[in-house]
Amino acid sequence: MNTSATLPDLPFIRVEKNGDVLLDVHVVPNAAKTQAVGLYGEAGQMALRLRLQAPPVDGKANQALMKWLAVCLGIPQQAVTLARGETSRRKQLRVQASAASQATWDELLEVTGGPAP
């Protein structure tokens, strides 16, 4: 299975050798509603900027983040895990290869304005 062929070319997405997909995310907790609002960072270190309604208490923001991504991509929630950044605003999420190949990436493309040049 060639996961990279189904993925959009976005600066915050990388594919690992085993086919898992890593997404870099910059989280702003305690927002009025949960929504992706664009890109954050400098070239080479871009992340998806996401406002989360959940507070950063007892892992609630991390759980809300993983649930939001799973719903956004249309994949099972257990296919999304937190790879890095448990207590940081900068996080890295892992999407299992099998789920990534079936995911719908359209919503992330809309938020970021399409593929990066």
pLDDT in tens, the chain (117 residues): 444 446 788 899 999 999 999 999 999 999 999 999 989 988 888 999 999 999 888 888 999 999 999 999 999 999 999 999 999 999 999 999 999 999 998 888 887 765 544
Q: How far apart are CA 14 and CA 94, in angstroms?
A: 10
Q: How far apart are CA 36 and CA 6, in angstroms?
A: 21
- Look up the pTM and report it: 0.87
Whether residue 34 contacts residue 53, with contact meaning beta carbons closer than 8 Å, is answered with yes
Q: What local confidence, expressed as pLDDT, does residue 114 receive? A: 59
Domains by residue range for the chain, with CATH: 3-103 (3.30.1200.10)
